[in-house]
Structure 1
Amino acid sequence: MKIRTSERISNHPWETVSTVTVQKYLKPMTSSLVGVDVMDRHTDPFGKFHSQRLLGTERGLPSTVKSLIGAARTKTYVQKHSVVVPIDKTMELRSASISFTNMVSVDDRLLYKPHSQDPEKTLLTQEAIIIVKGVCLSSYLEGLTVSTTSANAKSGREAMEWLIHTLNVETEQLVASGRGTSGHRQ
């Protein structure tokens, strides 16, 4: 078993980060993503917003890994559950792999909350637990999975930044077009 933990600070307020985090799987940079299905979305009686999604990915596994786990297919599925608590300004995102779980399990937990010293920034705490069982070279596979998890986390942060930039540009264009039309009214 390997545990990967990290903390990151985003230079954007929690409201912005939590809004785009839910949408980050829609970015054009995710060529391996083949589908996102929303299984459930609801607000509970306490005002917490829950979202349950199933993601399908087509990732090319190295041939060494394919031979070690005895798999020819590369399509994998991940279940994601997020809980947004607006009153506390927290968002928790839990991911669990549901493919190859008899050999590899990856459980990921991300917590987003305002930075304690600067409310215009967001603190992201991440913990991933990786377990490889029943295959030879499990330590090697755990290390490879940690590297993949790190790369995916970086890609997720890049997607968030791309979405925030896109949202800001669209907002500026909307505001500018509103100013342009309001001056022509009589």
Structure 2
Amino acid sequence: MKIFSSQHEFGYSWEQVSAANWKKYPNEMSSHVVAVDVLRREIDPKSGVLRTERLITCQQAIPKWILALVGGSNISYVREVSEVDPQSKTLTLRSVNLTMNTLLSVYETVVYSPNPQNPMASTLFNQEARITAYASFKRICNKIEDWSVERFNQNAKLGKAGFDSVLNKIYEKVQEGVFREEHAKL
């Protein structure tokens, strides 16, 4: 098993980041994500936590040697379950691959929370993925895990850049709307 972890700070409030999360895909940087379907959404009446289950469809450039070993396709599916907790101000996303999970399992957890140093204007992003390959030979497992960690790292960088772009576009639209409202009053 290999572990990938990443931390980042977004220059937006937790409220802005958690609202923009639903508009994260599609974006120009994460072109491997081709569809996002909401399977279930509910609010816990006692805690106010919003739980959402989504199916994410990805199209990956999988090395031919892996496809030759196991067959399959470059289309993969990921199940994501998210919880937005307005009381603790956390957005937690947990995902697991559904495709080729007998060869490779990837359990990812992402948590967005207000930056304690600047909670009104900054959100912390913490990501961890546990990547485990299953094969008869340890050497093959290591090779698959190493490739997967590298791919995960590349996609994480693209995902961060794409989400930054989405946040920026939303913020620009909000500012534009505020600007129009102020000038309409004049």
- Could you tell me which residue of structure 2 aligns to residue 116 of structure 1? 116
- Equivalent residues of 1:34, 1:57 under 8 A apart: yes
Q: Residue in 2 aligned with 1:141?
A: 144
Structure 2: gaps of 5 or more residues: none
Report the aligned-residue RMSD. Answer: 1.5
Sort the Cα spacing of 1:27 and 1:135 in 2 relative to 1 into closer, same or farther, 3 A.
farther
Q: Which runs of 4+ in 1 moved over 6 A?
A: none
How far apart are the structure 2 equivalents of 1:8 and 1:29? 17
SS at match of 1:27: coil
Q: 1:170 aligns with which of 160, 166, 173?
A: 173
Unaligned runs of 5+ in 1: none
Aligned pair partner of 1:160 in 157, 160, 163: 163
- Normalised by the length of structure 1, the TM-score is 0.91
Aligned to 1:102: 102
Cα distance in 1 for residues equivalent to 2:90 and 2:101: 29
Contact 2:30 2:159 in 1 (8 A): no
How many residues are paired up? 182
8 Å CA contact retained: 1:42, 1:49? yes
SS state at 2:182 partner: helix
- SS state at 1:57 partner: strand
Percent identity, aligned pairs only, is: 29
Q: CA deviation at 1:135?
A: 5.2
Give distance in 1, aligned partners of 2:19 and 2:184: 29
Q: Distance in 1 between matches of 2:100 and 2:53?
A: 20
SS, match of residue 25 in structure 2? helix
Amino acid at match of 1:111: V
